[in-house]
Amino acid sequence: MQMGHLENKVKSAYIHIPFCNTICSYCDFCKVYYKTNLIDSYLDSLSMEIAEYYKGELLDTIYIGGGTPSCLSIDKLKRLFSIIDKLKKIDNLEFTFECNPEDINEELLKLLKSWGVNRLSIGVESFNKKILKILNRRYDIDIFSKIDMCKKYFDNINIDLMYAIPSENIDILNNDIDTIIKLDVPHISTYSLIIDKNTVMYNKKYKNIDDELDYDMYKLIIDKLSRYNYHHYEVSNFSKNGYESKHNLTYWNNEYYYGFGVGASGYIDKTRYDNTKSITKYISGCYRLESNKLSYNETVENAFILGFRKIDGINIKDFENRYGFNPRNIDIVKKLVRENKLEISEYNIKINKNYIYTSNDILCEFLGIDYQIEKNKNK
pLDDT digits (tens, 9 = 90+) for 167-194: 899 999 999 999 999 999 999 999 998 7
Which ranges constitute the DSSP H helices of the chain?
Answer: 36-53, 74-84, 106-114, 129-135, 143-151, 170-183, 200-203, 211-227, 246-252, 279-283, 296-307, 316-323, 331-338, 359-364, 370-377
Looking at residue 1, its pLDDT comes to 38
Answer yes or no: CATH 3.20.20.70 is held by domain 10-251. Answer: yes
Backbone angles phi, psi at 191, to 5 degrees: -135, 120
* Model pLDDT for residues 279-323, shown as the tens digit of each residue: 999 999 999 999 999 999 999 999 999 999 999 999 999 999 999
Tell me the HSE value of 287 on the side-chain side, using a 13 A CA sphere: 22
Residue 352, burial from CB neighbour count under 10 angstroms (0-12, 13-18, 19+): middle
Output the pTM of the full model. 0.93
Strand partners, 191: 162
Determine if the peptide bond prior to 242 is cis (ω within 30°).
Answer: no
Mean pLDDT of 159-170: 94
CA dist list (Å): 290 to 65, 139, 303? 21, 37, 21
Q: What SS3 state is found at 191?
A: strand
Every domain of the chain with CATH number 3.20.20.70 lies at 10-251
- Rounded to 5°, angle at Cα 5 from 2 and 8: 160
Separation CA 130–CA 332 (nearest Å): 45
* Model pLDDT for residues 87-143, shown as the tens digit of each residue: 999 999 999 999 999 999 999 999 999 999 999 999 999 999 998 888 887 767 899
- Report strand pairing: 314-315 vs 342-344: unpaired
Separation CA 281–CA 184 (nearest Å): 43
Separation CA 247–CA 62 (nearest Å): 7
Residues 6+ apart with CB under 8 A from 373: 296, 297, 300, 301, 325, 330
